[in-house]
Amino acid sequence: MCGICGFTGEILDREKILKNMSDVIIHRGPNSDGFFSNKDISMGFRRLSIIDLQNGNQPIYNEDKTLVLTFNGEIYNYKKLKEELVAAGHEFYTNTDSEVLIHGFEQWHENLLDKLRGMFAFAIFNIKDNSLFLARDFFGIKPLHYTIVDNHLVYASEIKSILQFPKVEKKFNKNALDKYLSFQYSVPPETFFENIYCLLPGHYMWFKNGKFKITRYFDPILTPDENLTIEEAANQIESVFEDSVRTHKISDVEVGCFLSSGVDSSYVSTYFSGQKAFTVGFGSNEKYNEIGFAKKFSQKLNLNHYSKEILSEDFWNSISHVQYIMDQPLADPSCIALYFVSKLASEYVKVVLSGEGADELFGGYNIYHEPVSLYKYQKIPKFFRRALASIAEAIPINFKGKNFIIRGSKDLSERFIGNAFMFSEKEKKKILKESSIATSPQDFCKKFYEKTQDYDDISRMQYLDINLWMVGDILLKADRMSMANALELRVPFLDKKVFDVARTLPGKLKVNNKNTKIALRQAAAKHLPKFTAEKKKLGFPVPIRIWLREEKYYNVVKNIFNSNIASKFFNTEVLNRYLDLHFSGKEDNSRKIWTIYIFLVWYNIYFNS
C-alpha cells in the first residue's frame, strides 16, 4: 500500500516539486520513497512495505526500461499472472505484485485490467512514445486524482499532493458545495477544487501530446437470477467468500481485522482464529459502543481482541486533522471513528481486513427495505397518494406514519438519491447565500435510474449506491483513515469473484419483511452464532445527536455558525435556527448541522489558513 504522484512535461525545479508532492503524502508510505524523472515525466512514490519487503521499491521497470510504473494497491492473483507472463518470455527481477503490472501491461495493454483481481491505482509511462496510462480499480477502493494545467497532466493519490504543483491554482468549486449539501460527500468526478477531478472507478486514462481520453472498462451491472434458491446462493457465497478472504490475507507482514457487532466484519473475523481483531466505541450505551459484544465474540472465536473507548474530547479534537487528511469535507461522523480504530490497529499490525462493500453488494442497508414496506401502499393510485402526502406535509407537527405517507407518494427516483440525503433543493435555496447554485439531487441521479429501468427497485438502489455512495463516502474514508495511520485496509467483499455471485441475487434473497442481506446472512450463519448472523444493520454509530445537545459542543458549533466564513456561504439565521431547535430537543437536526459544520471546518483548513 502506497501513495503515488507525478506530472508530465518540463518545469523549473521539477525534482524539488516532485519531492514536495511525495512528502505531503508520506503517511501513505513511510517506509521509503522512489522517483523517476526526465524531460517528459516526473513520477513519485511513497511505500508502505507489505510484499517482497527487501526488493519491492518503486518505480518498477520492464526489461529494457522503456516502461516505468508507480502503483498503489495490491494484486491478489499476481502469482498466477506471473506464471503466464514468465511462460510468455518475460523476465522478473522482484517477487512483487507491482512487477506483474508492468510486464502484464507490456503483454496485454489495456486488457490487463480485465485479468486483475485486487485494488489498485497506477501510472505507467512509455518512454518510447511519451504516453502515460492511468488506471483505477473496479469499485474505487484506491483513489486517484488528476488535473490538467498548461498542458501538464498532474496526478496523485491525494489532492493535497496535486496542490503542491506550482502551476495549480487552488480555487474553491462552489458546485461541489451544492452536491455535498444533498449527498454529505463530494460527488465524483468533481471535487471541491476547481479543475481537479477524481478518476472514476473502473476507468482508465491515456494522456499523450497534451490530450487525454478516459474509458470505462468495468461497470457493476447486476444480473438477478430469479430461479436462484436461498440454499444455492448461500453455498456460492460461502465458497467464494472463503476464497476471497484467503486471497486477501496474502502478505509478508501480519494481518489483522476490524470487528464490530455486525454480520459483515464478524463473518470476516471467523477466518482469524488466534489472530488480532480491533474495535472502538463511545461511552457505555450499547447503541454507540460495540466493544462489549466484540469482546465476547472474540472469546468464542479465540481472537486476540484490542479495543479503545473514544472520549468525546478526543473525537472533537481530531476533527480538523481528519478533515485535512480527507482532502474534502465528509459529513459522515463514522470516518472519525474509523480513524481511531485504524490508529489502534496500526500499533499492532500493518494490514487489516474489513467489511466494506457487503451492504452495497448484498443489499444490507435498512433503507433497502423501503420497497418491501411500501409495496402494498403503492398499489393505491398515485394521484390519491399524492393528495394524502400534500395533506400530511401541510400539518406542521410530526405524527406516526407521516414520513411513510410522504415517501410512499413518490417514485423511487424521487425519494432515493443514496444512503445519505441531507438537504433538498428547496432547503438548499433557503440556507445558501448564493441560492442559484442549488440544484436537484434527483436530476443528478437520473442517469443511473435510466440505466437500470429493467431492475427491481432494490437493485436500482444498490446500483446507485455502488456508483455514488460507496465511492464518495465508504471507500474514500476507508482509504484515507487507514492510510493516515500507515495501515493497509483490505476489503474481501469487494472482490471481482464475490461480485460475480452477488450480482446474480434476486431481490427476495437480499431483503424480506424481517431483514436485509438474506443470502449473505445464511452463508454467515454457518460460521457465526445465530444472534450475530441475524443482527440488524447498525453501522458505525456516533452520538453526534447527543453531543449537540450538550452546551459545550453546542457552543463550538454556534461559534463557527456565526463566523465570517459561515456568513460567506450561508444565511446564518437559518443555521442558528437548526442548531437551537436541536439543542432544545424540539427537532433532530443533528445530521444537517453536522454537514454544515464539517464543511466550515474543512474550508477553514484549505482556504482560510
pLDDT tens-digit map of 390-410: 999 889 888 888 999 999 899
Q: What is the rounded average pLDDT of the residues 565-580?
A: 98
Read off the pLDDT band of 522 (50, 70, 90): very high
- Smallest CA-to-CA distance from 353 within 258, 494, 480 is with 258
Whether the per-residue pLDDT at 606 is higher than 90: the answer is yes
Instruction: Characterize the bridge pairing of strands 304-309 and 351-353.
Output: unpaired
CA distances from 411 to 375, 386, 457 (A): 11, 11, 10
Whether the per-residue pLDDT at 426 is higher than 80: the answer is yes
Whether the per-residue pLDDT at 509 is higher than 70: the answer is yes
- Smallest CA-to-CA distance from 1 within 251, 229, 232 is with 251
- Residues 472, 345, single domain; the answer is yes
- Residues 58, 195, single domain; the answer is yes
- Could you give phi then psi for residue 281, rounded to 5 degrees? -160, 175
Catalytic residue among 5, 198, 257, 445: 5
- Residues 598, 569, single domain; the answer is yes
- pLDDT computed for residue 527 by the predictor: 92
- Residues 123, 269, single domain; the answer is no
**Mean of per-residue pLDDT scores for the chain:** 94
Residue 503 has which C-alpha cell? 450480482
Q: Is residue 504 part of a domain?
A: yes
- Residues 324, 210, single domain; the answer is no
| pTM, full prediction | 0.94
- Residues 529, 547, single domain; the answer is no
- Residues 559, 499, single domain; the answer is no
Q: What is the rounded average pLDDT of the residues 475-503?
A: 97
- pLDDT computed for residue 548 by the predictor: 97
Percent of the chain at pLDDT exceeding 70: 96
Angle at 530 between CA 526 and CA 534, to 5 degrees: 100
- pLDDT computed for residue 285 by the predictor: 62
- pLDDT computed for residue 85 by the predictor: 97
CA–CA gap between residue 98 and residue 73 (Å, rounded): 9
Domain of 485: which CATH number?
3.40.50.620
Domain count, the chain: 3
- Residues 264, 351, single domain; the answer is yes
Read off the pLDDT band of 277 (50, 70, 90): very high
Query: Residues 95-137: pLDDT tens digits?
Result: 899 999 999 999 999 999 999 999 999 999 999 999 999 999 9
- pLDDT computed for residue 7 by the predictor: 98
* Domain span holding position 597: 543-609
**Residue 506 burial (CB count, 10 A):** 17
User: Among residues 534, 563, 589, which one ends one of the domains?
Assistant: 534
Q: What is the rounded average pLDDT of the residues 242-269?
A: 92
Q: Is residue 432 part of a domain?
A: no
- pLDDT computed for residue 283 by the predictor: 76
Q: Is residue 87 part of a domain?
A: yes
Whether the per-residue pLDDT at 361 is higher than 90: the answer is yes
- Residues 345, 244, single domain; the answer is yes
- pLDDT computed for residue 582 by the predictor: 98
Q: Is residue 382 part of a domain?
A: no
- pLDDT computed for residue 554 by the predictor: 98
Q: Is residue 15 part of a domain?
A: yes
Read off the pLDDT band of 289 (50, 70, 90): confident
User: Among residues 503, 534, 565, which one ends one of the domains?
Assistant: 534
Q: How many residues does the chain have?
A: 609
Provide the angle, in degrees to the nearest 10, between the axes of the packed helices 78-87 and 97-108: 50
Domain of 141: which CATH number?
3.60.20.10
- pLDDT computed for residue 531 by the predictor: 65
Q: Is residue 239 part of a domain?
A: yes
- pLDDT computed for residue 55 by the predictor: 58
Query: Residues 429-487: pLDDT tens digits?
Result: 999 999 999 999 999 999 999 999 999 999 999 999 999 999 999 999 999 999 999 99
| Spatial CB neighbours of 87, under 8 Å, sequence gap ≥ 6 | none
* Strands ordered across the beta sheet of 118-126: 60-61, 67-75, 118-126, 131-136, 203-208, 211-216
- Residues 28, 126, single domain; the answer is yes
147: which strand partners?
Answer: 154
CA distances from 434 to 174, 176, 186, 424, 577 (A): 9, 13, 18, 15, 19
- Known catalytic residue: 5? yes
Residue type, 209: N
Read off the pLDDT band of 538 (50, 70, 90): low
More confident residue, 28 or 535: 28
Q: What is the rounded average pLDDT of the residues 381-392?
A: 91
- Residues 63, 166, single domain; the answer is yes
| Spatial CB neighbours of 448, under 8 Å, sequence gap ≥ 6 | 460, 463, 464, 467, 468
- Residues 13, 137, single domain; the answer is yes
- Could you give phi then psi for residue 125, rounded to 5 degrees? -110, 135
Whether the per-residue pLDDT at 52 is higher than 60: the answer is no
Q: Is residue 280 part of a domain?
A: yes
Q: Is residue 33 part of a domain?
A: yes
- Smallest CA-to-CA distance from 468 within 446, 500, 485 is with 446
- Smallest CA-to-CA distance from 406 within 439, 428, 431, 377 is with 377
